[in-house]
C-alpha cells in the first residue's frame, strides 16, 4: 500500500470526503452515481464532482477507467486501509507518550464487543511475535 503520509494521498474538505465515502460505498462509480448519493437539496454539479474525482485520481486515491463515453472511478484503498494508514502515520509522528494516550482514548471509546475482539487480536499478535522472535 502506498504511504498515506505522502501529502498527495490525503483528501480534505467535506466534498472530497463525501465523494470518497460514495466511492467506498459503491465500489466503483461514475460521476452521476456519486451525485445520486448526494441529497437532492444540495447536489453538486456534474463538473464539480468530475473535478473532485479527477483530483482524487491525481492524488493516487482513485483509479479511473473508460467505460463507453464515461469514466468509472474506483478507490485504490479500502476505507479501513486508508483510515488505518492515516492514523498510523499520525501516530508515528507523535511522541511515545502522546501516541499511548491517543490509543488509550480510542480504545476507551469502544463498546464491549469491540474490546473483546481487540483482546483476541492482541493475543494473536503476541503469539505471532513470540514465534518470530
Domain ranges of the chain: 7-75, 96-132
- Mean pLDDT to the nearest integer, 65-77: 95
Which pLDDT band holds residue 130 (cuts at 50, 70, 90)? confident
Q: What is the pLDDT of residue 86?
A: 87
In angstroms, how far is CA 90 from the centroid of its own chain? Answer: 14
**Matching CATH number, 7-75, of 1.20.950.20, 3.90.480.20, 1.10.10.10, 3.40.50.720:** 1.10.10.10
Which pLDDT band holds residue 8 (cuts at 50, 70, 90)? low
For residues 82-109, b (16+ Cβ closer than 10 Å) or e, as one string? beebbeeeeeeeeeeeeeeeeeeeeeee
What SS3 class is residue 61? Answer: coil
Q: Taking the model in full, what pTM does it have?
A: 0.77
pLDDT (tens digit per residue) in 27-67: 999 999 999 999 999 999 999 999 999 999 999 999 999 98
Amino acid at each position: 500500500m502506498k504511504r498515506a503520509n505522502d501529502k498527495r494521498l490525503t483528501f480534505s474538505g467535506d466534498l472530497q470526503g463525501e465523494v470518497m465515502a460514495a466511492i467506498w460505498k459503491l465500489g466503483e462509480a461514475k460521476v452521476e452515481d456519486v451525485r445520486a448519493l448526494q441529497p437532492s437539496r444540495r447536489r453538486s454539479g456534474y463538473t464539480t464532482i468530475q473535478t473532485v474525482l479527477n483530483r482524487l485520481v491525481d492524488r493516487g486515491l482513485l483509479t479511473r477507467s473508460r467505460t463507453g463515453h464515461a469514466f468509472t472511478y474506483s478507490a485504490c484503498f479500502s476505507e479501513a486501509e486508508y483510515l488505518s494508514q492515516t492514523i498510523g502515520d499520525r501516530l508515528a509522528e507523535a511522541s511515545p507518550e502522546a501516541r499511548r494516550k491517543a490509543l488509550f482514548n480510542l480504545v476507551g471509546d469502544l463498546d464491549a464487543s469491540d474490546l473483546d475482539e481487540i483482546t483476541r487480536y492482541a493475543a494473536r499478535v503476541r503469539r505471532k511475535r513470540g514465534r518470530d522472535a
